[in-house]
Amino acid sequence: SQQGEEDPQALSIQEGENATMNCSYKTSINNLQWYRQNSGRGLVHLILIRSNEREKHSGRLRVTLDTSKKSSSLLITASRAADTASYFCATVRPGGSEKLVFGKGTKLTVNP
Amino acid sequence: NAGVTQTPKFQVLKTGQSMTLQCAQDMNHEYMSWYRQDPGMGLRLIHYSVGAGITDQGEVPNGYNVSRSTTEDFPLRLLSAAPSQTSVYFCASTRDRESGYTFGSGTRLTVV
């Protein structure tokens, strides 16, 4: 079964606004990753946060992780039309498991 | 260009036919995975491999076979195609479980 569950399923904002997407997962993790998928394309890795980290930044991206609540959030600041895409969280479990398990994604639309 | 190459990009099969989806990477990655993506379902893991000669099942392995004879290649075989296997298939690879995955551009398969 799928590990992550993104919220909301769809999000529409204006250019320049911030976009926040949430991910909840069911079991303990080794790390959590966020990916972007433009329409009709493959996925692109954005950022990885380890279970012992609480916050991570990469350019306009900010990811937080709360292992006590089994949740993560992805914040995109000052969004652009080019940020329009689907965003997925994915988790790797501890204990030697090599599986990367995805949620169903959030579809973000940034209107010019 | 370094990356994950999937062939073919599009394929139409008749029910009962068999075929192999090819995946090759030139980054010397040990870990490789196959996913299928269906509308509203996100990405589901079919099979994965942690090195040449080592494969394991993911969430939805039925109807698919894999083998990993070299580090570079990880083909996915459909034994007897069914309409339920109509989907977009993605191959992905990574150096280790602490790194993000690199995805191929996908194979869009239709079974009629």
Of A43, A46, A92, the CB nearest to B97: A92
CB-based contact B33:B99 (threshold 8 Å): no
pLDDT higher than threshold 60 for residue B93:
yes
Q: Do B90 and A92 touch (CB under 8 A)?
A: no
Q: pLDDT tens digit string along B27-79?
A: 999 999 999 999 878 899 999 999 999 999 999 999 999 999 999 999 999 99
Q: pLDDT tens digit string along A33-67?
A: 999 999 888 999 999 999 999 999 999 999 999 99
Report chain B residues whose CB lies below 8 A from the CB of A102: 35, 42-45
Q: If DSSP codes are grouped into helix, strand and coil, which group holds residue A95?
A: coil
Distance CA B45, CA A2 (A): 9
Report chain B residues whose CB lies below 8 A from the CB of A44: 103
Closest CA to A103 of A79, A77, A70: A70
DSSP E strand stretches across A9-105: 10-14, 19-25, 31-37, 43-50, 55-58, 61-66, 71-76, 85-92, 100-102
Distance CA B32, CA B25 (A): 9
Helix (H), strand (E) at residue B74 = none
Q: Which residue has the tokens 């993506």?
A: B37
Reported as a pLDDT band with limits 50, 70 and 90, residue B13 is very high
The DSSP 8-state label assigned to residue A44 in this structure reads E
Q: Do B98 and A31 touch (CB under 8 A)?
A: yes
